Amino acid sequence: MKKIPLTCIIDDDPIYIFGAQRMMKIGNLCESFMIFHNGKNALDTLQKIILNEGTLPDLILLDLNMPIMDGWEFLDAFIKIPCKQKITIYIITSSIDNEDVMKAKTYSNVSNYILKPVTIDGLKEILEKI
């Protein structure tokens, strides 16, 4: 399995962020991380990187329920930004709402919908598909 150069985690839960980073480091799955605690900060930063043709993440792990701008609002805005690089997006959330699962399937750029907690094997499975 190849190591991902850059993963973006968009989540307001510091415990999840710490755990995901730790598992990806222990599993030697990722070199570095971009961390955002809401969709607005992530969107603003990623948009600047795209416009300046900088280094984008290969993978985005996106939570749905966050303050300021939630995961859905982030997705709706992010897909409108023209981007040459393919970025794999996984929704990783605690929402078991079937409407959320169905809505996620309407986004062609969302690879899957995964319930928290995520395990190291779950992360390896995600990275094998990239």
Show the domains of the chain with their CATH numbers: 13-116 (3.40.50.2300)
Q: Cβ of 43: how many Cβ atoms within 10 Å?
A: 20
Task: Tell me which residue has tokens 């928290």.
Answer: 116
State yes or no: pLDDT of 35 exceeds 90: yes
* 8 A C-beta contact, residue 120 and residue 23: yes
Q: What pTM was computed for the model? A: 0.93
Share above pLDDT 70 across residues of the chain, in percent, rounded to a whole number: 99
Q: Which residue would you say has higher pLDDT here, 84 or 43? A: 43
Mean pLDDT of 60-64: 96
- What pLDDT, on the 0 to 100 scale, is given for residue 126? 81
Residue 5 preceded by cis peptide, ω within 30: no
- What pLDDT, on the 0 to 100 scale, is given for residue 1? 62
State yes or no: pLDDT of 34 exceeds 90: yes
The pLDDT confidence band at residue 87, using thresholds 50, 70 and 90, is very high
- Angle between helix 71-78 and 39-51 (nearest 10): 20
* 8 A C-beta contact, residue 40 and residue 48: no
Mean pLDDT of 1-14: 91
3-state helix, strand, coil in the chain (%, to 5): 40, 25, 40
Numbers of helices and strands, H then E, in the chain: 5, 5
* 8 A C-beta contact, residue 57 and residue 8: yes
